[in-house]
Structure 1
Amino acid sequence: MRHFLIPFVFLLSALGVSAQAWADEYRETVNMFREAEAPQPYFKSAYGYAVFPTIGKGGFIVGGAYGEGRVYKHHKYMGTTSMAQASVGFQLGGQAYSQIIFFEDQRAYDEFTSGNFEFSAQAAVVAITAGASAEAGTKGTGASVSGGQNNARTSADYYRGMATFIIAKGGLMYEASLAGQKFTFTPK
């Protein structure tokens, strides 16, 4: 009996550490966005938000992106979300970025959490820090490089009740493509 308990206890403790590290990743990502100037007002006034610590994106003519995140309402964890993106057009490379989507009101939150939500190519994304392909997001309209926050667009408007910000983590992506993002939501 004791031989079975030792691996079981070890497994449970490893899962606890893993769950803690996962929670810390979300907390660190939210804090990173809180420290940036542009999204600060949204944390004060938004009904809720979805945060994605890492979205991986890559492409060569045809591309895609994927990331998993969490949804919060009034700063309380409400469930998980995933994002998938497909794109077509000139694109070459790969990158990783963090993304946050603010919900202006309950209507926008309910629309996002209804099950399957899509951002069209018209949705604007604000890049907060320097990075290649600063417009990496749903538009996919072109490659650009920003020298720092002073040279990047640092304000957003709500689109369909949502405002989106990204922070580039690494990589290099050249693109002039059309893309849209599709989200799923699972309540906790």
Structure 2
Amino acid sequence: MERLTRRAVLAGAGASVLLTAACGNGVGSNGAQQIDARVEATKSFLFQRYPGTRDLASRATGVLYMPLITEAGFFVGGAYGRGALQIRDVTVDYYSSTKASYGLQIGAQQYAHALFFMTDGALAEFRASSGWAASADLKYATPEQGASIGKQTTEIDPVVALVFGQQGLIAGATLAGVKYTRIIP
């Protein structure tokens, strides 16, 4: 029997992770209706569970709702999800979110997140880009903080990110970047 190399094992693990990450997110199914339904359910959950986020959304220029992100990793990891950008509660574009990571990690999880664009400039930059990568400019907050994110914070931080609804277990530290790309579902 042939001996497996470390590179072959990592490549196989990476392919498995990406397939796993894609499974629960409707990859290949082009359903704007499915994305819209998931976005509305996500908004309802977010606003009911964390009432302060409703005010944050009303002050935002636009909000990108990513209702279902599936992430898995075994040293090499990946995540995928689809969502919608809303301006004044109207969907204007659809986006996919992809993430690749490498590092000490094992497990899988699903979660939702929302990006609140607090300035016209931040929203315009996001919409004009061919692929926007989340970076250190983001202000991360927990949903519980949604009520206490004050005016000064949202004026200083042009994009506020909330991650919520986590299910599953993934452990470890990774170097990862999330990229958002406009899609036509």
1:47 is matched with which residue? 61
CA distance in 1, matches of 2:160, 2:45: 17
1:31 paired with 2:28, answer no
SS state of the match for residue 120, structure 1?
Answer: coil
Aligned length: 148
Give the gaps of 5 or more residues in structure 1. Answer: 1-17, 129-148
1:110 paired with 2:124, answer yes
Q: Please give the per-residue CA displacement for 1:12-60, whole angstroms capped at 9, x wherever unaligned.
A: xxxxxx7655433211101112221452331120001010110000111
Partner AA of 1:118 in structure 2: A
SS state of the match for residue 25, structure 1?
Answer: helix
Q: How far is 1:101 from its partner?
A: 0.6
Structure having the higher helix fraction is 2
Question: Contact conserved, 1:127 with 1:168, CA < 8 A, in 2?
Answer: no
Q: How far is 1:65 from its partner?
A: 0.8
1:100 paired with 2:114, answer yes
Q: Stretches of 4+ moved more than 6 A in 1?
A: none
SS state of the match for residue 115, structure 2?
Answer: strand
TM-score by length of 1: 0.68
2:167 is matched with which residue? 170
2:178 is matched with which residue? 181
Structure 1 residues 20, 116: closer, same or farther in 2, change over 3 A?
closer
2:140 is matched with which residue? 125
1:9 is matched with which residue? none
CA distance in 2, matches of 1:28, 1:87: 29
SS state of the match for residue 113, structure 1?
Answer: helix
Give the gaps of 5 or more residues in structure 2. Answer: 1-30
Counting aligned pairs with the same residue, the percent is 27
Partner AA of 2:41 in structure 1: E
Question: Superposition RMSD on alpha carbons, in Å?
Answer: 2.5
Structure 1 residues 45, 121: closer, same or farther in 2, change over 3 A?
closer
Q: How far is 1:186 from its partner?
A: 4.2
CA distance in 1, matches of 2:99, 2:80: 6
CA distance in 2, matches of 1:174, 1:96: 13
CA distance in 2, matches of 1:177, 1:103: 26
Q: How far is 1:182 from its partner?
A: 0.5
Moved more, 172-181 or 20-29: 20-29
Structure 1 residues 175, 168: closer, same or farther in 2, change over 3 A?
farther
Structure 1 residues 173, 28: closer, same or farther in 2, change over 3 A?
same
